[in-house]
């Protein structure tokens, strides 16, 4: 809310347009990190879930227009169900095989959308947004309203990630990331936990995509399934740090802001180049991301983000083992 009030006080509408993209990436990076960071399953299909949420909005805009909050809920349900189904079909795969399967999902969904004329097909679809909206007697420009929506959505995503990190669910995710075979041998219901992760991750990505057609005004498959969404969703948590909810937040703000500055001063064509250079640099200099790089200094200050300890994981494994598991490998 402070960010919204600051941008509103400055009175420059471009801050809302640029800020929307940066905050949107906070949601995407946080959602990706639930599966990719906490569980260790690299997902290359982020753009597919984002586009699924966007095209859900386009579908209802043409069929029965709904307010954005309702579209967020519907997009979360649709994307979450697709995430659940995809997870059930692919999560028995591991490593590069799982990553390739998620990339194939994006290709399949893009092909379906390109051939679905009702939502615009390959030509794309126009979504005409109102010029303003009145909320509790206060009139806002619609782009300011969208900016407020995406800020609230980012707060929800970060809150969910933070709650997961220190819960039994988070400890279960950590056992999968560190040693899935050992977790299975200990009785941890790994398939169940991975399905929860894919559902949550997919739902949040779909919610991030739901307001996008109203922000951009014209949606086509090339923009909805764009490479930047898949690349940034992975790069931002890796740069910030994947083992904590803080990492995707820091990485998104840093990389998203740099990209917006590069877009204004140079060209948007250098954005992916910027991502590649920073990603290579951080893999060499700080393989655990900015959070890992800062931890020694934070420990001296008595403040740190710690990974779940082996003792905590053991207690989580014992707790998970107490519940029956129906997984078959």
The answer to whether residue 313 sits within a structural domain is no
At 322 the pLDDT is: 46
Query: What pLDDT is recorded for position 296?
Result: 67
Structural domain contains residue 116: yes
The answer to whether the pTM exceeds 0.95 is no
CA distance linking residue 48 with residue 110, whole number of Å: 7
248 domain-assigned: no
236 in a structural domain:
no
Could you tell me if residue 16 is inside a domain?
Answer: yes
pLDDT at site 325: 41
Q: Is 293 part of a structural domain of the chain?
A: no
Per residue in 247-256, pLDDT tens? 899 999 999 8
Task: Give pLDDT, residue 267.
Answer: 78
User: What is the per-residue pLDDT for 316?
Assistant: 47
Is residue 328 included in any domain, yes or no? no
Which parts of the chain register pLDDT below 70?
A: 1-12, 296-329
The whole-number pLDDT of residue 7 equals 63
Per-residue buried b or exposed e for 292-327, using 16+ beta carbons within 10 Å of the residue's own CB:
bebbeeeeeeeeebebbeeebbeebbeebeeeeeee
pLDDT at residue number 14: 78
For the chain, what is the domain count?
A: 1
d(CA 38, CA 34): 5
Assess if residue 105 is contained within a domain: yes
Q: Tokens for 300?
A: 């001296």
pLDDT of residue 208: 94
Quote the domain boundaries for residue 93: 2-226
């Amino acid at each position: 809310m402070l960010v919204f009030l600051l941008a509103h006080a400055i009175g420059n509408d471009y801050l809302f347009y640029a800020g929307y993209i940066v905050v949107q990436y906070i949601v995407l990076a946080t959602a990706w990190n639930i599966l990719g960071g906490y569980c260790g399953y690299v997902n290359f299909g982020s753009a597919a879930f984002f586009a699924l949420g966007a095209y859900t909005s386009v579908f209802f805009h043409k069929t029965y227009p709904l307010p954005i909050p309702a579209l967020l809920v519907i997009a979360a349900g649709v994307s979450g169900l697709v995430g659940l189904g995809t997870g059930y079909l692919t999560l028995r795969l591991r490593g590069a095989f799982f990553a390739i399967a998620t990339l194939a999902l994006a290709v399949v969904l893009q092909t379906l959308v390109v051939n679905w004329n009702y939502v615009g097909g390959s030509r794309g679809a126009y979504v005409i947004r109102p010029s303003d909206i009145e909320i509790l007697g206060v009139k806002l420009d619609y782009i300011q309203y969208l900016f407020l929506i995406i800020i609230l959505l980012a707060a929800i995503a970060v809150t969910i990630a933070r709650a997961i990190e220190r819960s039994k669910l988070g400890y279960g995710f950590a056992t999968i990331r560190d040693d899935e075979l050992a977790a299975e041998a200990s009785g941890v219901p790994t398939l169940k936990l991975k399905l929860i992760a894919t559902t949550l991750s997919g739902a949040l990505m779909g919610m991030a995509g739901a307001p996008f057609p109203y922000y951009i005004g014209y949606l086509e498959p090339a923009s909805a399934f764009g490479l930047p969404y898949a690349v940034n969703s992975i790069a931002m948590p890796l740069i910030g740090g994947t083992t904590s909810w803080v990492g995707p937040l820091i990485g998104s703000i840093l990389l998203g802001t740099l990209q917006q500055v590069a877009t204004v001063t140079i060209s948007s064509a250098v954005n992916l180049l910027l991502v590649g250079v920073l990603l290579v640099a951080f893999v060499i200099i700080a393989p655990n991301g900015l959070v890992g790089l800062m931890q020694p200094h934070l420990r001296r200050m008595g403040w740190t983000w710690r990974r779940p300890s082996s003792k905590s994981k053991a207690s989580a494994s014992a707790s998970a083992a107490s519940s029956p598991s129906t997984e078959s490998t």
